Amino acid sequence: EPAGAAASSAVSSAARLRQMALDYHSASSDFSLVTGSGPGKITIMPTKRLASQSDLSLAYSPGVAAPCEEIARDPSTVALYTARQNIVAVISNGTAVLGLGDIGALASKPVMEGKAVLFKKFAGIDAVDLEINEKDPHKLAAIVRALEPSFGAVNLEDIKAPECFEVERICRETMGIPVFHDDQHGTAVVVAAAIQNALILAQKDISAVRLVCTGSGAAAIAC
């Protein structure tokens, strides 16, 4: 029957998409940009020449001591001698991953790698994904805070509500680098803008309409 054929086709398409996604994330060469790259979507590439013993002695010991001493003397010079200012930490504990829910830190890694490549593709910013096995908001915030010397900014991602608000609040109040929570400052802002635009197009005032929200996750609460 037509309905049965349509359902079968939808199932087949979903299965094909799933297999393509698994191939994309594996070590398959069909999607690789870097020769010999392994599984996943990111890698680390050196930005300085490493062609000789002299180069290596500058990149590491003994030459690396010079910038270390300068940074110890004046912490602001870390922006001159390291990549810190252009590296974002993408951090999640895997408690609210896309439509998958609490799948755990390890299973959230493909999503966090995905966010890292979006930073690189669309903003030219390097990002490192960090999946942390900690659900207590205060302990998670303490871990994030301890990472501040390594990164120029923090992007909190897929941490369930209401704990995410506490983690974000503590980090923003106590850290000296920007802290961004994707659901609050990303999804919520876009949705709020869409609502505002719809009201303008419909020539209605927000006080005169009733808004219905399905679910009360971080983005919905932030809106």
Tens of pLDDT, residue by residue over 110-153, are 999 999 999 999 999 999 999 999 999 999 999 999 999 999 99
pLDDT band at 36 (very low <50, low <70, confident <90, very high): low
End-to-end C-alpha distance for the chain, whole angstroms: 45
Q: How far is CA 132 from the centre of its chain?
A: 13
For 21, 161, 207, the CA distances from 211, given in Å and listed in that order, are: 36, 21, 10
Q: How far is 80 from 201, CA to CA, in rounded Å?
A: 48
Cβ partners under 8 Å of residue 39, min gap 6: 25, 26, 27
HSE (side-chain half, CA atoms, 13 Å) at 66: 8
Question: Strands (DSSP E) along 27-164, which ranges?
Answer: 87-92, 126-131, 153-156
Number of H helices, E strands in the chain: 9, 4
- Please list the active-site residues: 60, 115
Q: How far is 184 from 210, CA to CA, in rounded Å?
A: 22
pLDDT at 31: 80
The stretch 24-33 carries a mean pLDDT of: 79
Phi first, then psi: give them for residue 199, nearest 5 degrees: -65, -40
The stretch 152-160 carries a mean pLDDT of: 96
129, 112 contact by CB (below 8 A): yes
pLDDT > 70: percent of the chain: 96
Residue type, 125: I
Q: What's the full length of the chain, in residues?
A: 223
Q: Note the pTM of the prediction, 2 decimals.
A: 0.86
